[in-house]
A and B are shown apart, each in its own frame.
Chain A
Amino acid sequence: MRITHWWYTLPLRLRSLLRRGQMQRELDDEMQFHLDSLIEDGTARGLTSTEARQEALRTMGGLTQRKEEARDMWGLTWLTDLGSDLQFAFRSLTRAKGLAFFVVVALALGIGMTAASFSMLDALVFRPYPVANPNQIVTLVSTSQDNAFEGFSYREYLDLRNASKSYDGMIASGPVIGVGFSPDARTTPRVKAGTLISGNYFKVLGVEPRLGRGFRTDEDQVPGRDAVVVLAHAFWKQELGGDPAIVGRNVRLNGRDFTVVGIAPASFPGLFIFSRTDFFVPLAMGRLFTADPKQDVLEARDARGLTVRARLKPGVTLAQARTEVASIASGFRSAYPALYRERGASVHTQMQMRTQAGDINWKFGLIFTVLGFCTLLVACTNVAGLLLSRARARTREIAVRLALGAGRQRLVRFLLAESLILAGLGGLAGITVGYFAIQALQRFSIPTDLPMTVPFRMDVRVLFACIGLAVVSAVLCGLAPALQSTRTDVAAGLRSADVDPPGRRGMWGRNALVVAQVAMSLMLLTASFLMARSFQASVEQSTGFRTDHMLMTRLDPRLLQYDVARTQQFYELLSQRLRETPGVVSTALTQNPPLGLDSFDRLAFVPEGYDLPRGRESVKSFMDTVDDGYFATLGIAVTRGRAFTAADNATAPRVAIVNEQFAKHYWPNGDAVGRVLREGDRGGEPIQIVGVARTVKYADTVELATDFVYLPHAQRPSARMVLLTRSNGDPLQLIEPVKAAIRSLDPNLPIIEMRTYEDLYRYSAVEGPRLAIRMVGTMGFVAVFLAIAGLYGLVAYNVTRRTREIGIRMAIGASHADIMRLVLGKGLTLVAVGTVIGLGLGFAVEKVFNSMLFHTVGVDVVSYLIVVPTMLAVTLLAAYLPARRALRIAPTQALRCE
């Protein structure tokens, strides 16, 4: 009955909760009516009005009490009780300001660190796309043995879109690319970030333009016809002053007039995590923006530079979509056997795309979050320990309350209210700590001129996580002390101010807390040391090249519609001129220097004399296109054979230089120099290996040694290049000479970015790792600090509690050593147990780090040799200092105590 009509009573309960004031007035009126009626009754029987009134009041039997009883019936006593609990708990906490302060700081650090780490994980994994119904959006990928997350080409996208039935629309978009932008033809273009998108992009995503319109489907049909552009909101505001009249006017992109048809809303900065785009252009205009002059992006089936996303129809499962796309891919295989021999396709959710095994950023986010949570756990155990001893010291108070008839449930609630207040304050302070930590993360600058953003911010999910963490910590901190203290034996509690519960059970919880603290802080400290040392090791391994005295200049003559021949000539002349410039030692051209921010191209090839794995037609390796000055300028040693020379030009036989890892991989027993690679497949063009270079770090400092091929720029042209200029003095002194050299060749050519290579290197190999080490290190030190405080507290508490006992022992002749053993013994055992458990956790963490981040095996003995003794020394000191107090106890005084 009760359960079936809760829906009926719920509004009544809510009313009594929310409209308490009104109900109170109604109750008053109702009782008043009764009273008046009684009085009338009395006067009717012939009493005077005063007599009648007195009689009526007597009859009612305590008006206030009756009202109180009626109010109790509103079924909300628990809530009003909670209010008074909180009030009382707050008052009792203001009497223990020191404790409250320590607790709030501990929780704030724990919550703040977790929040900051979670903001990374949130941005990298959880934050939904800023579109309508983001959960329906899935990503289609082309799969091969080398890469299970490849994109699609424009042709493939069109075929997929026409053949599939699982989706309400399918869109394609390119990466963020540098585009020469100018408001009109007279102004020198500046490089801005553009994205190529399919015509249905905004419609399928459900993004309504702020002004104007999105693209029409017909604007994406004919290559090169519709020069239209949609501007991103931030770009429109910053570059064009938010002028609404811009819609309908022309701007110049890569030397061509484009009509602005719309402005994207501020809520839609694009679908990238790290970068914003400044404007969107239709894919059909792709030829104007492509990177590879040899490939026609609109025709080549293997120009797989597009990300294809689709909105899953309601009711269609991911498995169905996968089956469909796999069958379309098998159709591709039969239609174009040469292009699709080992290629399939699949569909992934946003989450699956963001948690790829090959991506390292989200792994750091995850590891930081888990470690941050561990710090919070240490803080919670610490707070629980403190509250436990506080509750123990209040045994008498609690016994009195129990004896006076307080319900145990009510007492537990009261004690939980205390931890709730503490956790609430800790949560608020934690949000503040987290906010500033995230601000610090945001200051981390990425050395590029394209609009890269650090996406970490305090958003709704991070805020909710903070609140959740505060509630979890309230329960973790408060429950154990609350339950334990209400087990108090009333009679014993009343006799003494501070009595251990019978048996050793009472101390067990407290001991476990100290063990957990020692173990977890040891683990966190180990984690920070391991991370620091692994980064250090990986950076040391990567110093196979020079980083000093080099100026980087990024150029892309395609922004001015240069063709291949003109581009090659430009770079040749530029290098020549710069090498004659005073102050320039040498120059180099590369598509992306080591540890640069771009990704490397991949070269498909067949190594002659090497047995390909069964079923493979070719293998792939990362590659770079470099000029003859590259190896000398960067100081990458060519250990066998020779470096590229000016003679390796377009007409000479094709040559390549591979790295040592590559040579070892394919010819473990012989010399790689002189061997031949066939580009593409067995019948491809032969490329002879003329040299072997040292293996360095290419994409990031923690990568495994990876295969790498260098091809001469003259034989494999690329338009977008990085020019490295080595100086004999400050590389920044070369900025003007380099600019002058470029202007002398073409005054209109935009310079995409200019900075020292040292900047870039520091970002990739120094600043990033330093940030990671700092985060984990801070967690480690906070944890150790808390563990020290916890242990200190425990021993100090023990000494105080046993003052009388110690006095007696000393009086009957116990030595100092005996006393130390007595008070320290327990603490030392706990430290020992905690250390052993912490070591185990440390090994586990090392295993996770090795497999997820650093790709190494084995145990880093040095870390443990530093961490464990340090931890032991520090914890012993924390136990020893309060223990020393026991020795100073004067027996006569101790006996008088209590």
Chain B
Amino acid sequence: MLPSVTDMSKPTDLVQGTLDLLILKLLAIQPLHGWAISRRLKAVSGDVLQVSEGSLYPALHKLEQEGWIKAEWKTTENNRRAKFYELTRPGRRQLETQAASWDLLSSAISAVIRLSEA
């Protein structure tokens, strides 16, 4: 079966910048290559967060240019060369900042939603 159209869509339903936060969080746990990040995202979030395969790379390159993650070519367990990304020190700080502001944002949004329901 062909995958559904939604599989291919851009993460328009992701709040802007959220993809960055997710990538940073995943890399905080361990260095990963692009393919692994995309699998991990799918696995962890179920089908709720859908990131298209291709749009992951612009995001990764942006984070690299900002100096939050750095890349290194290494061999995978299948003996293939892949570009592994890992979090840098400024990246870790950035993750903390972003996570904190995400918490703030999401709790604020929840509060508003509860208010309108009441």
Which residues from B are CB-within-8-Å of A37?
Answer: 35
Q: Which residues of A contact B97 (CB under 8 A)?
A: 1
Q: For the complex, would chain B's binding face be called helix, strand, loop or mixed by DSSP majority?
A: helix
Whether A73 contacts B67 by the Cβ 8 Å rule is no
| Interface of chain B residues 48 through 96 with chain A (CB within 8 A) | 52-55, 57-62, 64-67, 73, 80-83, 88, 90, 93-94
B70 to chain A, nearest CB (A): 9
A801 CB within 8 Å of chain B: no
- The answer to whether B55 touches A74, judged by C-beta atoms less than 8 angstroms apart, is no
Within the complex, which residue of B3, B59, B64, B94 is in contact with A1, where a contact is CB–CB below 8 Å? B94
Q: A55-B3, A59-B3, A66-B54 are in contact. Are A34 and B38 (CB under 8 A)?
A: yes
**A5, A29, A38, A55 pick with most chain B CB within 10 angstroms:** A5
**Does B25 sit within 8 A of A, measured CB to CB?**
no
Q: Are A13 and B61 in contact (CB under 8 A)?
A: no
Is A303 on the interface with B (CB-CB < 8 A)?
no
Q: Is B8 interfacial (CB-CB < 8 Å)? A: yes
State whether A34 touches B67 (Cβ < 8 A): no
Closest to B36 in A: A37
Residues in A with CB closer than 8 Å to B83 are 26, 29-30, 33
Q: Mark B7-39, 1 if CB is under 8 A from A, else 0.
A: 110100000000000000000000001110010
- Chain B contacts for A8, CB-based, 8 A: 67, 88, 90
Which one of A12, A37, A55 has the highest number of Cβ atoms from chain B below 10 Å of its Cβ? A37
B2 at the interface (CB under 8 A from A): yes
Given known pairs A1-B94, A59-B3, A60-B54, the reply for A73 and B61 (CB within 8 Å) is yes
Q: How many residue pairs bridge A and B at CB < 8 Å? A: 91
Partner of A33, one of B2, B7, B34, B66: B34
Asked whether, in the complex, the Cβ of B81 is within 8 Å of the Cβ of A60, the reply is no
Q: In the complex, A660→B31 CA distance in Å?
A: 97
Within 8 A of B (CB), among A727-746: none
Residues of B within 8 A of A (CB): 2-3, 7-8, 10, 33-35, 38, 52-55, 57-62, 64-67, 73, 80-83, 88, 90, 93-94, 97
What are 5 A-B interface contacts by the 8 Å CB criterion?
A31-B57, A34-B38, A34-B53, A65-B54, A66-B58
Majority-rule SS of A interface residues? helix
Interface pair B38/A70, CB less than 8 Å apart = no
Do B58 and A58 have beta carbons less than 8 Å apart? no
1/0 contact trace for A69-88 toward B, CB 8 Å? 11111110000000000000
How many Å lie between the Cα of A69 and that of B19 in the bound state? 15
Q: Mark A96-111, 1 if CB is under 8 A from B, else 0.
A: 0000000000000000
> Is B57 touching A29 in the complex (CB atoms < 8 A)?
no
Docked complex Cα distance between A641 and B99 (Å): 106
Residue pair B58, A33 in contact (C-beta under 8 Å)? no
Which residues of chain B are near A61, meaning CB under 8 Å?
8, 10, 52-55
Chain B minimum-CB-distance residue to A76 = B65
A75 pairs with B65, CB closer than 8 A: yes
Q: Contacts A30-B57, A61-B8, A66-B58 hold; do A5 and B90 have CB atoms under 8 A apart?
A: yes
- A69–B3 touching, CB < 8 Å: no
> In the complex the two chains form, what is the Cα distance from A67 to B55 in whole Å?
9
Contact A59–B53 (Cβ < 8 Å): yes
A33→B65 contact, CB < 8 A? no
Cβ of B57 and Cβ of A70 under 8 Å apart? yes
Per-residue B-contact encoding for A29-46, CB less than 8 Å = 1, 0 else: 111011011100000000
Bound CA span A69–B57, Å: 8
**In the complex the two chains form, is A27's CB within 8 Å of B57's CB?**
yes
Q: Which residue of A lies closest to B58 (CB)?
A: A69
Q: Smallest Cβ distance from B50 to chain A, in angstroms?
A: 11
A69 engages B65 (CB within 8 Å): no
Residues on B with C-beta less than 8 A from A58 are 2-3, 8
Residues of the A chain whose Cβ atoms lie less than 8 Å from the Cβ of B67:
5, 8-9, 12
Residues of A within 8 A of B8 (CB): 58-59, 61
Beyond A26-B83, A29-B81, is A66–B66 a contact (Cβ under 8 Å)?
no
Cα distance, A72 to B65, chains bound together (Å): 11
Q: Inside 8 A of B60's CB, which chain A residues have their CB?
A: 70
Does A330 have its Cβ within 8 Å of any Cβ on chain B?
Answer: no
**Contacts A29-B81, A33-B80 given: A70-B3 contact, CB under 8 Å?**
no
Contact B61 A70 (CB under 8 A): yes
Taking the nearest CB of chain B, how far is it from the CB of A22, in angstroms?
A: 12
The answer to whether B58 touches A34 (Cβ under 8 A) is no
Contacts A5-B90, A33-B82 given; does A60 touch B65 at CB 8 Å: no
> In the complex, which residues of chain B have a beta carbon less than 8 angstroms from the beta carbon of A75?
65
Residues from chain A with a CB closer than 8 A to the CB of B73 are 26
What's the minimum C-beta distance from B92 to chain A, rounded to whole angstroms? 12
Rank and list the top 8 A-B pairs by shortest CB-CB distance, nearest first. A66-B54, A69-B58, A73-B62, A73-B61, A37-B35, A9-B67, A70-B61, A8-B67
B33's nearest neighbour on chain A, judged by CB, is: A33
B49 to chain A, nearest CB (A): 16
- Taking a contact as CB atoms under 8 Å apart, the answer to whether A72 and B64 are in contact is no
Q: Which residues on A sit within 8 Å (CB–CB) of B62?
A: 73
Question: How many angstroms between the C-alpha atoms of A61 and B6 in the bound complex?
Answer: 12
Question: Which of B2, B59, B88 makes the CB contact (< 8 A) with A55?
Answer: B2
A1 to B88, CA, bound (A): 14
CB closest chain-B residue, reference A66: B54
Residues of A within 8 A of B35 (CB): 33-34, 37-38
B61 lies within 8 A of A74 (CB): yes
Q: How many angstroms from the CA of A192 to the CA of B94 in the assembled complex? A: 75
Q: A33-B35, A55-B3 are in contact. Are A62 and B82 (CB under 8 A)?
A: no
User: In the complex the two chains form, what is the Cα distance from A859 to B7 in whole Å?
Assistant: 87
- How far in angstroms is the closest Cβ of chain A from B36? 9
Structural contact, A1 and B2, CB atoms closer than 8 A: no
Given the known A-B contacts A5-B90, A30-B34, A59-B3, are A12 and B64 also in contact in the complex, defined by CB atoms under 8 Å?
yes
CA distance A67 to B54 in the complex (A): 8
Within 8 Å of chain B (Cβ to Cβ): is A63? yes
Residues of A within 8 A of B54 (CB): 59-63, 65-66, 69
The reply to whether A72 and B90 form a contact with Cβ atoms under 8 Å apart is no
Which of A29, A62, A69, A70 lies at the interface centre, i.e. has the most chain B CB atoms within 10 A of its CB?
A: A70
* Inter-chain contact A66/B55, CB cutoff 8 Å: yes
A26-B83, A33-B35 known; A13+B65 contact, CB < 8 A: yes
